[in-house]
Amino acid sequence: MKDIQKNMEQLLGRMACEGRECGVQLAAYYRGELVVDAWAGSADSHKQEPVKATTLFPVFSTTKGVVATVIHLLADRNKLDYDMKISEIWPEFRVNGKENATIRHALNHTTGIPQMPEGIGLADVVDWDTMRDGVAKLVPQWTPGEHMEYHAITFGWILGEIAQRLDGRSFARIMKEEICDPLGIEDMYVGIPEDVEARVATLEEPAYMQSSTTASGPQAIPSWIYPLHEWMNRSDARKACIPASNGIMTAKAIAKHYAALLPGGVDGIQLLPPARMKIATEPLKLKDEMPLSMSMGYQVGAKDSIMGSRSSIFGHGGYGGSIAFADPDNHLAVGLVNNLYSNNGAGFTIIQELKKMLGISID
């Protein structure tokens, strides 16, 4: 155990030297203690800025796990019921067949509106009011609750608007005051302030190839927003509040968030009781379908998952290779963030070595 920090530092350094990662951070809480807080490589593709403990990384959909926690915190404080109709909170949502869509549907990606509103562009995506109003008018592609399809970006505006209307604070403020402040987290944002932008790592995706054809019809991630790494290198995208996909944080920050969801919590703080987490992380099962690797807002362990195969594990991964999760059976919480997006990323290698060092079976 005493060598785990040094060994993981060396592994991250080796992965950066071999080109499997450019810049990378790893943090792990084990039995309530921070046992790994390591980083290596470069924060930019020119290899001029080394990664530091305070380097911030865009994590795309890894953000969704934090959104889920916000909603479950509101539920635990009796501000919402999962089966409450969204239209009761947000009257403008009560159109085009979404009248019976519930908060539960929104959490488990069964609302029927994974598609982005049509006729918008990059300038619109960073404007909360424009996206909120566009999402409210969407026509569901199936009856809410009957099918699951990943709501890649709309997930954030649906649940973010629900949270804001029920609580009265902005989503970013709820996250800061209910998650970050109690845990002493200073490096987790959905919409960064200008004074931290210099600390944000530059994303790169050398093998990305733009499609020669333009997709038409409903799209969860429209073709005009690609390449995603370039989009998240834009200042306007970093400063906006897009709760499904533009979280910017350190590995330590997101790992601590998950550590606080484990029984006993961390530093004396447990964000949610075990009974609430049991409800929140129950694998989704739709009629005539096997349990899916999704719960109410969190992904859960499954075969070939980087988190592990046990369904008791919960967390969320993001485009490009970031991952954060909690393993209640082993009292483990992990955050891994990076800035090189490739098919040869070292995420699985890093997580497996971490588990090996802790004596946890690789399942």
- Distance, in Å, from the CA atom of 21 to the CA atom of 361, rounded to the nearest integer, reads 25
The string of pLDDT tens digits covering residues 12-36 is 999 999 999 999 999 999 999 999 9
Closest by CA position to 71, among listed 191, 184, 155: 155
The string of pLDDT tens digits covering residues 229-275 is 999 999 999 999 999 999 999 999 999 999 999 999 999 999 999 99
Token readout for 144 is: 């809410």
pLDDT of residue 46: 82
pLDDT of residue 216: 65
pLDDT of residue 63: 98
pLDDT of residue 315: 98
CB 265 within 8 A of CB 69: no
Q: Is the pLDDT of residue 121 over 80?
A: yes
Which burial class, exposed, middle or buried, applies to 214 when counting CB atoms under 10 A from its CB (0-12, 13-18, 19+)? Answer: exposed
Q: Which domains does the chain have, with CATH numbers?
A: 4-206+224-358 (3.40.710.10)
Residue with tokens 């954060």: 324
Radius of gyration of the chain (CA): 19
Q: Is the pLDDT of residue 1 over 70?
A: no
Cβ within 8 Å of residue 60, ≥6 positions away: 228, 232, 245, 246, 247, 318, 319, 320, 322
Confidence of residue 287 (pLDDT cuts 50, 70, 90): confident
As a whole number, mean pLDDT of residues 290-310 equals: 92
Does residue 270 come out as left (phi exceeding 0), alpha (psi in the -120 to 50 range) or beta?
A: beta
| Coil/strand/helix, residue 163 | helix
Q: Is the pLDDT of residue 164 over 70?
A: yes
DSSP state of 274: H
CB 69 within 8 A of CB 271: yes
As a whole number, mean pLDDT of residues 118-131 equals: 96
DSSP letters along 349-363, please? HHHHHHHHHHT----
pTM: 0.96
The string of pLDDT tens digits covering residues 191-209 is 999 999 999 999 999 999 8
Q: In the chain, what percentage of residues exceed pLDDT 70?
A: 97
| Coil/strand/helix, residue 290 | coil
pLDDT of residue 184: 98
